[in-house]
Amino acid sequence: MADARDSAALQFVAGLGAAMASANYPVTLVRQTMITASRAYGLDNQFLALPNYVQVGNSESGQLSIAHPDRDLRFDQTFALATLITAAQRAEITPREGIAELERIWRTPMRYPAWIGVIGYALQSAGLSLVLQPAPLTLLLAVIFGAVVGVLCEVARHSDALSQLLPTVCAFVVSLAAFTAVEHLHLGDASLRALAPPLAAFLPGAAITLAVIELSTRQMVSGASRLVAGFMRIAQLAFGVLIAAQVAGLSDDHLITTSVNRIGPWAPWVGLLVYALGALLFFGPPSRFLPWMLLMLVTAYAGQLVGNAVLGGYASGFVGGLALTLAAFAISKRPGTPAAVSLILPGFWLLVPGSLGLMGVTEMMESDSTALFTATLISMISIALGVQSGLLVWRLVEQVGSTAPDS
């Protein structure tokens, strides 16, 4: 009986680690969670955690459980996963109940029908357009292109082949349509910033951030694999954009990133609200998460503005990442609030200088491509360093608080 219970616990801990890896938790946190959960169930296990491979073994019984995180966990599913992680670490759920809950989480359908998701993606694109390029024409294109990409995303949910090519396909379709409009309709405001809103969801900000964190903590295998995967995603997007530019016969002087605001200084702040509503419909988190998501978006954007004003463009991502991380951990410590990972992700969707990175990559057709690529890389890594610094500062605050004498 004990062997069966230990076997179930081993399987549950491995499945829990695999689900966390699929939700893009850092491998250090995955391993720490598996250690804590195993101890809660009275087991002394050994662990191996990689982005696509989790192994849990017990030297005493000789049992081994292996799980392969071969697909991503949707954002709406991470809320139930966070609750399960807390219960497992406290042994508040039996291993068999935990296995059943994991299976239920994986089978959870999308909260909204596909057409709602398409509307949500279009709103999300419109909100980001108001932040990056508040102009009526750019806003219109963002809504149209966002709806097109939203449809492709919904179709890709049911096709593994299309999902693997989705970044390139979307980049090509959106870019070709935008470049054709620029060339033949002489739309002056439709610069490269018109491409960023509908394509921003494909930018690998989270992967590169995790890679920097894991490489700095000597998790070489997982960090290097995430970094390569992030660069591959950038290459997919760049390929789609550049091929579309060649097909459209677009000259280099049209590939500009000039920022204009033809609506008003209030437009970016309204854009944050529109973006949050769109993300709620597209990703399908609980409705009660909307105020927290909006707070994280405002924190990330305000931090980026402060960083840009005080330290310059490259440091804007660093300050935004730092503010976002500290705010997420501070909020997550309050009862009844979402997990820190769930809070950080919405800020990433806005904060990641992916739009800048994407525009830098597309401008590589120009002569100074080396400098542009360097600027793109530094901009993306700055957020990763900001998040890592936020983690270190928060740990320091917790250590100081735990060692402070009681008053």
Tell me phi and psi for residue 366, to 5 degrees: -80, 175
**pLDDT higher than threshold 80 for residue 48:** yes
Residue type, 235: A
**Would residue 249 count as lying in a domain?**
yes
Query: What is the distance in angstroms between the CA of the first residue and the CA of the last residue of the chain?
Result: 49
Residues 339 and 220 grouped into a single domain: yes
Residues β-bridged to residue 66: 55
Give the count of domains, the chain. 2
In which band, very low, low, confident or very high, does the pLDDT at 407 lie, cut at 50, 70 and 90?
very low
Per-residue pLDDT of 114-161, as tens digits, reads 999 999 999 999 998 898 878 888 888 889 999 999 999 999 888 877
Note whether residue 274 is domain-resident.
yes
CA dist 74 and 206 (Å) reads 14
Segments forming the whole domain that contains residue 22: 2-107
In terms of domains, do 64 and 121 share one? no
The pLDDT tens digits for 235-271 are 888 888 888 878 877 665 555 556 667 788 889 999 9
Mark whether 142 and 269 lie in a shared domain: yes
The encoded tokens of residue 400 equal 């100081």
Percentage of residues in the chain having pLDDT higher than 90: 30
pLDDT grade, residue 219 (50/70/90)? confident
Of 208 and 41, the one with more pLDDT = 41
Which pLDDT does position 353 carry in this prediction?
A: 45
> Max Cα separation, the chain?
75
Pick from 138, 142, 149: which is nearest to 172 by CA? 149
Q: For residue 405, tell me if it sits in a domain.
A: no
> What digits encode the pLDDT tens for the residues 26-45?
888 898 999 999 889 888 77
The first and second tokens of residue 130, run together, are 């108001």
Residues 103 and 121 in one domain: no
CA–CA dist 252, 232 (Å, integer): 24
- Whether residue 137 contacts residue 260, with contact meaning beta carbons closer than 8 Å, is answered with no
Q: Give the model's pLDDT for residue 244.
A: 85
Q: What's the mean pLDDT in 301-316?
A: 80
CA dist., res. 115 & res. 154, Å (int): 9
The reply to whether 142 falls in a domain is yes
Give the neighbor-by-neighbor strand order of the sheet with 64-67. 46-50, 53-57, 64-67
Asked if residue 154 is part of any domain, the answer here is yes
151 and 265 both lie in a single domain: yes
pLDDT in tens, 94-109: 999 999 999 999 999 9
Domain's final residue, options 107, 137, 161: 107
H-type alpha helices, 90-135: 95-107, 114-132
How many other CB atoms are there within 10 angstroms of residue 246's CB atom?
Answer: 12
Q: How many CA atoms lie within 13 A of 318 on its CB side?
A: 16
- What span, in angstroms and rounded, lies between the C-alpha atoms of 272 and 211? 27
Write the pLDDT tens digit of every residue in 181-199.
766 655 555 556 677 789 8
Specify if 404 maps to a domain. Answer: no
**Whether residue 295 sits in one domain with residue 194:** yes
The letter for the amino acid at 370 is: T
Residues 87 and 225 occupy one common structural domain: no
The mean of the pLDDT values for the chain is 82
Residues 201, 175: one domain? Answer: yes
CB distance 333 to 380 below 8 Å = no
Q: What CA–CA distance (Å, rounded) separates 34 from 48?
A: 10
Query: Is the distance from CB of 27 to CB of 114 less than 8 angstroms?
Result: no
Residues 282 and 344 in one domain: yes
Last residue of a domain, one of 46, 75, 107: 107
Burial class (CB in 10 A: 0-12, 13-18, 19+), 319: buried
- Amino acid in position 379: S
Residue tagged 């989705």 (tokens)? 166
Confidence tier at 319 by pLDDT (50, 70, 90) = confident
For 345-389, the pLDDT digits (tens) are 888 778 764 344 444 444 444 444 445 555 666 777 788 888 888
- Determine the Cα–Cα distance for residues 371 and 376; give it in Å rounded to an integer: 9
Is the separation of the CB atoms in 194 and 7 below 8 Å?
no
- Do 359 and 304 reside in the same domain of the chain? yes
Instruction: Answer whether 147's CB lies under 8 Å from 120's CB.
Output: no
Q: What is the pLDDT of residues 161-174, one digit of tens each?
A: 788 899 999 999 99
Residue 374's pLDDT is what?
58
CA distances from 19 to 51, 85, 214, 228, 246 (A): 10, 10, 18, 22, 41
At residue 360, the pLDDT reads 47
pLDDT (0 to 100) of residue 306: 87
Nearest 5°: the CA angle 129, 131, 136 is 45
Quote the DSSP letter at residue 191.
S
Q: Are residues 191 and 309 in the same domain?
A: yes
How far is the C-alpha of 233 from the C-alpha of 85, rounded, in Å?
30
Instruction: Please indicate, yes or no, if residue 212 is contained in any of the structural domains.
Output: yes
Decide: 379 and 356 in contact? Cβ < 8 Å.
yes
Flag whether 307 is in a domain. Answer: yes
User: What is the C-alpha to C-alpha distance for residues 395 and 401, in angstroms, rounded to an integer?
Assistant: 10
The residue length of the chain stands at 407
Separation CA 359–CA 194 (nearest Å) = 10
3-state secondary structure of 293: helix
215 is written with which tokens?
């490489």
pTM of the predicted structure, to 2 decimals:
0.87
